Homo-oligomer: A and B are copies of this chain.
Amino acid sequence: MDIGIVGLGRMGMNIAGRLLGAGHRVVAWNRTHSKVEEIVTQGAIPCERLVDLKTLLPVPRIVWIMLPAGNPTEQIVNSLAEILEPGDMIIDGGNTNYQDDLRRSRSLNTQQIAYVDIGVSGGIWGRKLGFCLMVGGNPSDFETLMPILDDLAAQDGYMFCGDHGAGHFVKMIHNGIEYGMMQAYAEGFNLLEHSPYGPTLDYQALSHLWNQGSVIRSWLLELAEQGFADDPKLTKVRAFVQDSGEGKWAIQHALASSTPAPVLTMALMERFRSREENSFADRLLATLRNRFGGHAVFPADSEK
């Protein structure tokens, strides 16, 4: 099929590359043109100005946006809404909040432009192994996209999840689960490290072991094994953990729907904690302990 790819970051580049490898005709645009030249070497058609997508793609046009969620994606959706024509289709494959999908799909619908939201998992491994794709929108648009999804995804790796927003909603929950699982492993290895057995345990070997028939075997644990192989006690990396939007949005959905999600929430908040230096909360606790019990308080400039 013919498809336009807008946004050639790490993920967009891998998607474009995988589609080219499967024989699709990819027209590629990126703000920084050097990225376009890179994918052209893999067979893509270069698109200099966004508006050129109109002529470079056959009708009905299909354009896949793969940009950071929020403003960058929003601006391109708006631009494409002016460039494209009734019958064309916009796909947002980024990490967009599903509520933006609801709004956009309604708005584009008035122009008879189809809108499909696709949650993409698989990270940097997707190019090689195939991605895991969660699709939201109209069923007929989903069917239109099948030839592309077949090649982009891992075996059995795509699914129609429901109406507009469903793809990104399901991806958002996926990331919430991801945070919880990662934190479960992190706490487990931390407990080992804080034990008499920690100093002599080979965490790479243990990660490998646990992936052989144990109940907790998983792909994340395979990644842990690789990580420990490179850095057995993780001394090269700082204890500073970022988060993207989706983990937060999953918790916002928990709040909005009054659904308990203690583990997913704590997983997120531990990331916040990792980035908090000289916590005001902790300083108040230390102050209160001193006030009621005369417990020693450590001066701000003391060594821990």
User: Which of B174, B194, B275, B288 is A224 in contact with, Cβ under 8 Å?
Assistant: B288
Closest Cβ–Cβ distance, residue A203 to chain B (whole Å): 9
Q: Is the CB of A215 within 8 A of B121?
A: yes
Stretch at the interface among A30-38, A50-58, A64-72, A229-237: A229-237
Q: Is the CB of B279 within 8 A of A239?
A: yes
Q: Is the CB of A159 within 8 A of B209?
A: yes
User: Which of B178, B187, B197, B281 is A162 in contact with, Cβ under 8 Å?
Assistant: B197
Closest Cβ–Cβ distance, residue A263 to chain B (whole Å): 4
For chain A residues 191-241, which have a beta carbon within 8 Å of chain B? 191-195, 197, 200-201, 205-206, 208-210, 212-221, 223-224, 226-227, 231, 234-241
Q: Is the CB of B241 within 8 A of A285?
A: yes
Closest Cβ–Cβ distance, residue A7 to chain B (whole Å): 16
Q: Is the CB of A258 within 8 A of B279?
A: no
User: CB of A108 within 8 A of chain B?
Assistant: no
Most chain B Cβ neighbours within 10 Å, of A189, A194, A257: A194
With a cutoff of 8 Å between Cβ atoms, the chain B residues found around residue A239 in the complex are 278-283, 286
Q: Which 4 A-B pairs have the closest CB atoms?
A: A180-B184, A218-B218, A154-B213, A239-B282
